[in-house]
Structure 1
Amino acid sequence: MSLDASAIAQTIQLSVTPVFLLVATGSLLNVLTGRLSRVVDRSRVLMDRWAETEGAEHEKVVAELRWADRRMDVINNSIGTAVACGIVVCVLVALLFTQAFTGLNLAVAASWAFALAMLLLLVSLILFLVEVRMAIRAIHVPMELMEVEEMGWQRRQRRR
């Protein structure tokens, strides 16, 4: 079956939206791998400190190591779903071109592929949000370090 230039152009136009989804997924993967790298680096520092600490300080190091391990699991799962999304988007583009070149009606398969890609992206983003919230909870600044009195802080904020 021969295709004319307009049919090829139309297929390329149909593929643009999934390709934008692929670019967005790649950007998300870049952010996720950066976060994973930071957690791994922090874990290495904590592992070095583990043998040097005792008592309450050692317990804090162990607790932070456990928390970092959980964060790494969440990030890894988010990366996995984002990669799966990217793979499904590639399959979607392949389906669109296969339909254009063979004349087979693959619209239902393409629709399911797009829906699956969106679901995987959604899961990845939710896991990303979970990990960010975990990071925020892990870095809770103790009140004594802020040198803030309970009610005096509010009064100082009003003066500014």
Structure 2
Amino acid sequence: MVAKLNEFIPDAVRLSQIFSQATAPTFFLGAIAAFVSLMTSRLSVVIDRTRVLNAIPEDDQRRAHLRADLERLRRRAELLNAGILSSLRGGLCATLLLAVIFLTEFMGFKYAYGAGLLFVIATYFLGVGLFRFAQEAKISVSAADEHL
């Protein structure tokens, strides 16, 4: 029983191999976290500007024209939200990939079945998030941003 338990617990060399294999998905996960943080900060700015425009009274003729920008801001918020959610899905896949790598190595299996597929799915979701971010960036600058 003790001998089987010793075979199950990895030694320092095997742990080192496990950690080296987990490096790439860990950096990928860190990049996703930074990207989500960037999009979240942009979403916060969009929401703040939307609140400011919604606070303009209807009878304020001098600034009422600025409210026309609300539709563009809504679209930006939708794109950023979609990008955040897609990137988070990629992050979940990368986290699952890390778990698969650790469990596979810890259990002593030769191959991590599905690891490649998980990486492709994570990359796909991050790509969708980047595409949504590019769409938002394309419509983000407007002359209306200069006024208020």
Q: Could you tell me the TM-score, scaled by structure 2's length?
A: 0.84
2:45 is the alignment partner of 1:69 = no
Match in the other structure for 1:38:
45
Aligned AA for 2:143? I
2:17 is the alignment partner of 1:10 = yes
SS at structure 1 position matched to 2:131: helix
Count of residue pairs brought into register by the alignment? 139
Match in the other structure for 2:143:
139
SS at structure 1 position matched to 2:10: coil
Match in the other structure for 2:58:
51
SS at structure 2 position matched to 1:108: coil
Aligned AA for 2:58? A
Structure 1 residues 50 and 25: CA distance shift in structure 2, 3 A: farther
Indicate conservation of the 8 Å contact 2:69/2:144, yes or no. Answer: no
CA displacement at 1:139 relative to structure 2: 3.4
CA displacement at 1:39 relative to structure 2: 0.3
Structure 1 residues 100 and 68: CA distance shift in structure 2, 3 A: same
Give the whole-Å Cα distance in 2 for the aligned partners of 1:9 and 1:19: 15
Backbone CA RMSD of aligned residues: 2.1
Match in the other structure for 1:96:
101
Give the whole-Å Cα distance in 2 for the aligned partners of 1:27 and 1:57: 36
Q: Percent identity?
A: 27
Structure 1 residues 141 and 39: CA distance shift in structure 2, 3 A: closer
Ranges in structure 2 where 5+ consecutive residues have no aligned partner: 1-7
Structure 1 residues 62 and 16: CA distance shift in structure 2, 3 A: same
Aligned AA for 1:123? V
